Amino acid sequence: MELLWLLLNLLIEWRRIMSNKKNIFLIILIVILAIWVLRGSKVLFNIWKIKNYYNTLIKQKQDLQEKNKYLEKRLELAENYDFLKEKEIRFKFGYKRKNERIIKLKKSLTKGKKILE
């Protein structure tokens, strides 16, 4: 906008100095050209902002792809994990998790009954 005011002031000064019809036509042409350049600069600025936003979106996409690969690996490990084998090992060594009951069967000498512990 400042450029536009500057050009209008220049137009007024030139009009005072040169009252010839050709010069007035040239001044009007210069003002139209200045307005066209000003609008073009706004368009270029918007294009620059869009390009920066596009680059940030590409970076976010790459970050999400890396995170997705990490989560896929974790999921694969969880799917391949053998819970029964882990439980068997814990029972073998007597380890117990919270809120877990370990039941051992013992043979008693009296009448061959099994006692639960």
Residue with tokens 């209008």: 8
Q: Which residues have C-beta within 8 Å of that of residue 72, sequence separation ≥ 6?
A: none
Q: Are 100 and 86 in contact (CB under 8 A)?
A: no
Q: What is the pTM of this model?
A: 0.42
Q: Say how many Å lie between the first and final Cα of the chain, rounded.
A: 89
**Which residues contact residue 103 at a Cβ distance below 8 angstroms, ignoring those fewer than 6 apart?**
116, 117
Domain residue spans of the chain? 2-116
Confidence of residue 117 (pLDDT cuts 50, 70, 90): very low
Comparing CA positions, the residue from 45, 43, 39 lying closest to residue 4 is 39
Tell me: pLDDT of 41 over 60: yes
Tens of pLDDT, residue by residue over 43-96, are 889 999 999 999 999 999 999 999 999 999 988 888 787 777 777 777 777 676
